[in-house]
Amino acid sequence: MTPLKVYRLGNPLFIEDLSGEGGRLYAGRWHHKGTPILYAAQSASLSILEYLGHVINTTVNVPYILLALEVDADQMLPLASVSAQLPANWYDEKGIALTRNIGTDWIKSKRSAVLQVPSIHAPDEYNYLINPNFPNLHLQILQKRCYLHDHRFLRTYRKVTQKGKDPFE
């Protein structure tokens, strides 16, 4: 086994649920609704950036939880396994159907426990999709710590939006 440390940031009520229930309930960039899946990032800072990319009106004085997880890198498919399938515009809304199909097909195929994918927010860094139903999945919580958002992130975002609405909707 080759350990790989990855990170997840989330609500303290749900962050330790590693069953993929959130993915089953809601669609994401790399999966269709109904697909149990976990998302993780290569660094703590990327997990924070990814989380902030999905929140508009969040309470910044509520603590979140940052998890450090260990997965087995030997159970991972590298980015090269999907990069040939990605068109130049994979990161925009026109590409979301394709990325959802890639992730959902990967989960269903059970080819690996982990799939390395590019980050939209930091294209030279990676996110990791984790199949919680993969046979013999190695997934372990290494560390759990409280994280409070820096209020300046969201204050700045709200200033450039109209009444808190996402300018990209």
pLDDT for res 92: 86
How far from 88 is each of 38, 96, 122, CA to CA, in Å?
Answer: 25, 12, 15
Distances in Å between the Cα of 105 and the Cα atoms of 32, 62, 98, 130 are 10, 36, 10, 13
**Contact call for residues 76 and 113 (beta carbons, < 8 A):** yes
Please give the pLDDT value at position 5: 98
For residue 38, what are the CA distances in angstroms to 9, 16, 89, 149, 156?
11, 11, 24, 22, 29
CA distances from 3 to 38, 45, 132, 140 (A): 17, 20, 17, 10
Query: What's the CA gap between 2 and 14, in Å, rounded?
Result: 27
pLDDT of residue 167: 44
> Could you tell me the two tokens for 101?
């199909």
Residue-wise pLDDT tens for the chain (169 aa)?
999 999 999 999 999 999 999 999 999 999 999 999 999 999 999 998 888 776 655 555 678 999 999 999 999 999 888 888 888 888 888 889 999 999 999 999 999 999 999 999 888 899 999 999 999 999 999 999 999 877 666 555 445 444 555 444 4
Sort 32 into a burial class: Cβ within 10 Å, 0-12 / 13-18 / 19+: middle
Report the DSSP beta bridge partners of residue 114: 76, 130
